[in-house]
Amino acid sequence: MNTPATPADELQTILQSAYASSAGNTSGALADYIPELAKVVPDSFGLAIASATGSLCAVGDAEVPFTIQSVSKAFTYCMAIELAGREAVLARVGVEPSGDAFNAIEFDPHTRRPFNPMVNAGAITVAGILYDRLGDGAFDAVLDRFSRAAGRRLDMDEAVYSSESATGHRNRAISHLLLATGAVTNRVEPIVDLYFRQCSIRVTAVDLAWMGATLAHMGENPATQDQVFDLRAVRDTQTVMFTCGMYDYSGNWAFDVGIPAKSGVGGGLVGVVNRQLGIGAYSPRLDAKGNSVRGVAAFSALSDELGLHAFDCTNRGSLLVERYMH
């Protein structure tokens, strides 16, 4: 007699289907402006889903390590709101989509502050806020918080960090402009160094799924029951991820996929389905906007199949997710 499929089995099948439908797409290119990132295996591809009840599904190269890069911006922003307070952070970096590339040297013309914390200028400002609060211990605090969100001890890729530090002249230029406008109030070099280090933290798609699930589960890691982030900071972080997390593709992403998310040029992509799921993806071939080609395609397939769009009205897949959660 055949055993009926469990919700976990069904979700694993859907995850494998999203993987299979995206795996054949070999378009895009590696982020060669950071020399060390140009050395990664271009066709690695992994997906993972972690639930707010502590379950995990994964497929492909979900345990292959890579550097977190700009995915880190969501989590350092959450830390900054918690440590400095919402109003203090808003006074130094806005929450409006910019419509510009992630490394644009553009500030809000009215406030002379970065548009949002998900582009480089805003993330460097956030690094400045963390450095103001934590000093030379800021990176250790960031690494510890990321590790707690992932549910295991993470580390930093020294080779990628050295490569970013050696070639990060544009980010240094942005930092000096931030200092000139008052968005950054401390010495530039340790702030930029903190930013390079946070981007060089090594994770896997499974780690990103757990980190996303931590945000989805109101700041508590659902596997370890560790309260990693403050609840109010989590709400604000998810909001900015939804409106700004995919660079100058954010509007299309919200329209088509409808999940708070953050991408990185290392090929990582994290998504948060509030109170339900964290989704992690890794595939290093990037589109022209700096987002993972396969990651975007897989998220789109999952959103459609599971009805994960924030404004989905069809309930397709929602009963499966609800059953999986219980």
> Catalytic positions, please?
70, 73, 195, 247, 265
Q: Facing residues of 206 across strands?
A: none
Compute CA 145 distance to the chain's CA centroid, rounded to the nearest angstrom: 14
194: Cβ contacts below 8 Å, ≥ 6 apart: 127, 130, 131, 138, 139, 142
Report the phi/psi class of residue 108: left, alpha or beta, with left for phi > 0 and alpha for psi in -120 to 50. Answer: beta
Instruction: Quote the CA–CA distance of 193 and 292 in Å, as a whole number.
Output: 25
